[in-house]
Amino acid sequence: MKRLENINELTQYIESLKQDGKTIGLVPTMGALHAGHMSLIKRAREENDIVVSSVFVNPIQFNNKEDLEKYPRNLEKDSQLLEENGCDIMFSPNAQEVYKEEPTEQFSFGSLEAVMEGKQRPGHFNGVAIIVSRLFNWVNPNRAYFGEKDFQQIAIIKDMVRQLNSPVEIVPCPIVREEDGLALSSRNARLSQKAREIAPKIHYILQKSATMKDSLSFSQIKTFVVNEFKLIKDFELEYFEIVDDTTLQTISKKGDNGVVGCIAVWLDGVRLIDVQRYY
């Protein structure tokens, strides 16, 4: 596996691969890699000649300084995992390399960013779009792979690709979970032992709510989920919304598109998100 930290070296190397007719799959990450990330690497490996993974904790997508400072980092372990799982290029620049000047790009995603993560984290998705659009420019991938746990982020990136008229194919990949149901996340490493034992209840409650989809209204299901989290004092529910899986707007009844429940909760000072598909 080739490790690169310099943008010019990356673009020159990618250009040589493109000239040889190689297809390229990109897996953008913020490091602290786990089996969920490796499932993306595996999918990219199956569908492309070359797999590139970026490892970069993007400061401009954090609107919480403490969250940025506490975000887990382990570059050497990440490198080992990527190499063992068939990654060809690891790109791990520092912030000075990525943002040599103050970023000025401004993206607007309308109603897609006015809800859930966008509502709770102002500026977050502009920061995501800036780094992902730059990675697309540098890597020039045929396909880019993202986990469905960040469901709203995928919708935002798809819209960014549309706005930029980019040829990159966005490939959503299923959530990978621990045996007890907890969605894999780099932030899980920050949970205390007690909190880690409680955390799977997020998925359990969402799964239970999905069994009610044919007997209760979406409004009643939302009330059920909210009340379930009120009963567990360790959790602080930030939001739970049942939304159209294309527009991301809250819905009261099933339409032509799919339906997903999106949740964000605080546990032990750690913010965790998850997704449940209903239809």
Could you give the residue numbers annotated as active site?
37
How far apart CA 175 and CA 182 sit, in angstroms, is 10
How far apart CA 87 and CA 69 sit, in angstroms, is 27
Instruction: Report the length, in residues, of the chain.
Output: 279
Beta bridge partners of 236: 266
CB-count exposure of residue 227 (10 Å: 0-12, 13-18, 19+)? exposed
